[in-house]
Structure 1
Amino acid sequence: MILLFDVGNTEIKLAFSDGVDILEKYRISTDKNLSSDAYFLQIKPFIDRYAFERVAIASVVPIVTKALKDLSVKYLKMTPLIVGPGIKTGVNVKTDYPKEVGADLICAVAGAAKYEQPVLVVDLGTATKYIYTEKNTIKGVIITPGVMISMRAMVSNTALLPEFDLEVPQNVLGTNTIACMQSGVTYGVAAQVDGLVKRVHDEVNKELLVIMTGGLSEIIKPLCETKVIKDENLVVRGLLEILLKN
């Protein structure tokens, strides 16, 4: 069995694979203050019933990367593959500063490699990333504040707007404060997706396959007018593909 860690700023996804398919997936919160021992206690109930042969980590949080690396060495008795410079990924990066491109973006493109046509990946994470890829090459990226960041910013920077749950209101036009705020961060993000997909399409002048991933894709995808394919395993599948190349 293979253990895969996809580490984001808000949550860590654990995925188990037999080397071909993603068999199970779990989520825990990202905490920069936790030690390798504390993280092990969190994931122990999930991993106890398996014997793992390989471990791979894709992370955008360096201090958590170290904790998970130490966890792997101490408890699983193996050194994990960590996506970064010097690792074979099969992904070309055509940007101004390739070393700045995060491991999550690299894995997303590796996961989309099976599609022959140009792809725009919409990753709804802590930040929302739009990754334009063609023939396994990253050709451009858009980064916007994520849904949860927008929610927190709206509440923390206003005196009268209350905390609210992320739900899709029945109507776009709200008639109470909570519904108005919920509409802004759900229909608003969907409208952003539709608008940016169109602008990318017009700029590259090519038909795009739009793939949405990330924990909030289930909420946002039905609200989009754009035809979107939802793939919750895109990043961890890309991480698996990178591991198999090494």
Structure 2
Amino acid sequence: MMILLFDIGNTTVNFAVAKDNEIIANYNISSDLNKTSDEFYIQLKQFIDLTKITNVVIASVVPKITLELVKLVEERLKIVPLLIQPKTKTGVKVKTDNPREVGADLIAVAAEVVSENKSTLIIDLGTATKYIYVKNNAITGVIITAGVEISINALTKNTALLPKIDIKVPNKVLETNTISCMQSGVTYGVAAQVDGLISLIKEEVKEDFKVITTGGFSNIIIPLIKHEQKNDPLLIFKGLLKIFKLNER
């Protein structure tokens, strides 16, 4: 059994292949709203042998891309994909004011840790930075903030004299040239926010919890974080695989 797992975000479409309950490969392409199902098909074929895929699972926060990928899967692969949506069995309770507002990506990462005995804070360092608190098989609270990429884009789009820059960690926190100053702000700044919010959450929940980091910018930010944490870049795919097994049964 070969399972194709999709995590469709605003910046990238991340996808992985699972075989025998193990993630064996993962890739990403840009989230292009103008791309058709045929164009996605041509792109995906460059990475994986689609003829060997037997099942597909999709978690998405971009409806337009979801439609194109569902069309691709149904027409090209002759498979009805499993979409992560309110009616889907996930094993995750959502204790929020409006559970239907909670994104499929948040539910998917939570699905991987709900069986843990200890409460867990998942920090997803993607386009936005998301903090998902999981306790007793339920999402009990979430924080969403501007991530590294959003912060950079906000700076360059709203200030005429600031240049577009590569995202990397400068040598010092206090820098002396424009580009390094911006890089310091969005890397050390996000790391300081992560550490600060972990401390505030500890004060609020008044219990010990594990911290798991994931997401595309985790490799940049993790070395700057002072709190103990475990990084799992495949967390969302593991969660999607767990949800697939739940629905398969």
TM tier, shorter chain?
Answer: over 0.9
Matched, 1:83 2:84: yes
Per-residue deviation at 1:19? 4.0
Aligned pairs for 1:154-193 (under 5 A) are 154-193=155-194
Please give the per-residue CA displacement for 1:187-217, whole angstroms capped at 9, x wherever unaligned. 0000000000010111000112111100000
1:49, distance to aligned residue in structure 2 (A): 6.6
Residues of 2 paired with 1:135 and 1:24: CA distance? 31
Contact 2:50/2:77 (CA < 8 Å) preserved in 1? no
Instruction: Note the residue ranges of structure 2 that are not aligned, 5 or more in a row.
Output: none
The answer to whether structure 1 residue 115 and structure 2 residue 116 are counterparts is yes
Counterpart in the other structure of 1:241: 242
Tell me, yes or no, if the aligned pair for 1:19 and 1:240 is still in contact at 8 Å. no
Q: By how many angstroms is 1:114 displaced?
A: 4.4
Q: Secondary structure at the match of 1:46?
A: coil
Alignment-derived partner of residue 3 in structure 2 = 2
Match of 2:24 in 1: 23
Please state how far the C-alpha of 1:159 moved relative to its aligned partner: 2.0
Residue deviations 1:87-141, cap 9 Å, x none? 1000000000001000000001002234321111100112110000012200000
Residue deviations 1:192-246 (CA, integer Å, cap 9, x gap): 0000001011100011211110000000000001111111011111011101111
Question: 1:56–1:81: 8 Å Cα contact kept in structure 2?
Answer: yes
Q: CA deviation at 1:146?
A: 1.5
Q: Secondary structure at the match of 1:26?
A: strand
Which residue identity lines up with residue 237 of structure 1 in the other structure? K
Corresponding letter in the other structure for 2:239: G
- Give the aligned partner of residue 200 of structure 1: 201
Quote the sequence identity (%): 52
Partner of 2:63: 62
Checking the alignment, whether the CA contact within 8 Å between 2:51 and 2:77 is kept in structure 1 is: no
Question: In structure 1, the residue corresponding to 2:132 is in which secondary structure?
Answer: strand
Which amino acid letter does the alignment assign opposite residue 80 of structure 1?
Answer: P
Q: Quick one: distance in 1 between partners of 2:177 and 2:165?
A: 12
CA RMSD of aligned residues (A): 1.0
The aligned amino acid for 1:92 is K
TM-score (norm: length of structure 2): 0.96
Deviation at 1:50, TM superposition (A): 5.3
- Which amino acid in 1 is paired with 2:37? S
Q: Aligned residue for 1:14? A: 15
1:34 and 1:220 map into 2 onto residues whose CA distance is 31
Secondary structure (helix, strand or coil) at the match of 2:7 reads: strand
Match of 1:124 in 2: 125
- TM-score normalised according to structure 1 size: 0.98
CA distance in 2, matches of 1:126, 1:178: 20
In structure 2, the partner of 1:35 is 36
Cα distance in 2 for residues equivalent to 1:221 and 1:233: 15
Unaligned 5+ segments in structure 1 are: none
- The whole-number CA distance in structure 1 between the counterparts of 2:234 and 2:132 is 16
SS of equivalent to 1:5? strand
SS at 1:88 equivalent: coil
Distance 1:111 1:100 in 2: 20
* Divergent runs of 4+, >4 A: none
Q: Distance in 2 between matches of 1:3 and 1:156?
A: 36
Q: Is the 8 A contact 2:14 2:26 kept in 1?
A: yes
- Correspondence for 2:154: 153
